[in-house]
Amino acid sequence: MQNYRTAAARGSANYEIQKSKFLAYTAPVSSEAEAREFVASIKKKHFDARHNCSAWILGADSSQQKSNDDGEPGGTAGNPILEAIKQHRLTNIAVVVTRYFGGIKLGAGGLIRAYNHTASLGLEATPLLEVRLFCPVEAAIDYSLLGTVENWIRTKELRTGETAYADRVTVRLLIEPQEVESITAELIDLTSAQCKITPGQPEYLRLPV
């Protein structure tokens, strides 16, 4: 399990060179089925275009990658789009670049540059978020310690969940995995061990970039 960046919503951009029009569309996707559905929707929208080339990357480790030249010379469209996604260090995202041919051939090098540039423009216009792994840690303390603990949380700039108020106060902290041991040790020391700490299973949080 690891942190990664992805799209928060869809994005789009356009680019024109030598009378050929290139239109980029991006979308967050979580599966190959979603990616294929997105590509199909753009192909339906631009059914009259000569090419609707695409690429996507899936998985927190970016392990699933696919590209499609959709009739362009091999390696001149899908792969440059895929490379643009890699350059932006994104995953769980699909990109389609639609081309309306303007009558002037761009050559292999020109196509590679045009598809990569258009995809990059689309990605730059896409709102992003970072998906980060946190461990929830519940700390049950007496009310007399609440002010001290809250001040410590603000000083440490820790993320928190919802606080529960009962016989004791239960504060929910969201701590990055590598910091759990040191943060909990600091909390135990702060409260002179007058707290009950219950760690939970790691979970992903979606944070705006």
3-state class of 136 per DSSP? strand
pLDDT, tens digit, for every residue of 188-207? Answer: 999 999 999 999 999 899 99
Q: Report which of 76, 71, 90, 89 is spatially closest to residue 118, judged by C-alpha positions.
A: 76
pLDDT, tens digit, for every residue of 123-175? Answer: 999 999 999 999 999 999 999 999 999 999 999 999 999 999 999 999 999 99
The ranges of the chain annotated as CATH 3.30.70.240 are 130-208
Mean pLDDT of 167-187: 95
Q: How many residues does the chain have?
A: 209
pLDDT for position 72 = 95
Q: What are phi and psi of 5, to 5 degrees?
A: -110, 145
pLDDT, tens digit, for every residue of 57-111? Answer: 999 999 999 999 999 999 999 999 999 999 999 999 999 999 999 888 899 999 9
Sign (positive or negative) of CA dihedral 59, 64, 70, 73: positive
Q: In this structure, what token pair is assigned to residue 18?
A: 């030598």
Q: Report which of 181, 179, 182, 154 is spatially closest to residue 171, judged by C-alpha positions.
A: 154
Architecture of domain 4-126: 2-Layer Sandwich (3.30)
Cβ within 8 Å of residue 31, ≥6 positions away = 58
Architecture of domain 130-208: 2-Layer Sandwich (3.30)
pLDDT beyond 70 at 1: no
The ranges of the chain annotated as CATH 3.30.230.30 are 4-126
Mean pLDDT of 1-17: 93
pLDDT for position 209 = 85
Q: Report which of 31, 44, 144 is spatially closest to residue 93, judged by C-alpha positions.
A: 31
pLDDT for position 208 = 87
